[in-house]
Amino acid sequence: MINMEDINRLKIVLVEKKKTGKWLAEQLGKNPSTISKWCSNVSQPDLATLVKVAELLEVKINDLIVTSK
Exposure string (b/e) for 41-65, b if CB count within 10 Å is 16 or more?
Answer: eeeebeeeebeebbeebeeeeebbe
Q: What is the CATH number of the domain that holds 46?
A: 1.10.260.40
- Interval 4-49: pLDDT, tens: 555 678 999 999 999 999 999 999 999 999 999 999 989 999 999 9
- Specify the number of domains making up the chain: 1
What pLDDT was estimated at residue 24?
Answer: 98
pLDDT value at position 68?
60
Reported pTM = 0.84
Residue 66 pLDDT grade (very low, low, confident, very high; cuts 50, 70, 90): confident
31 is in which domain, residue-wise? 4-65
What pLDDT is attached to residue 25? Answer: 98
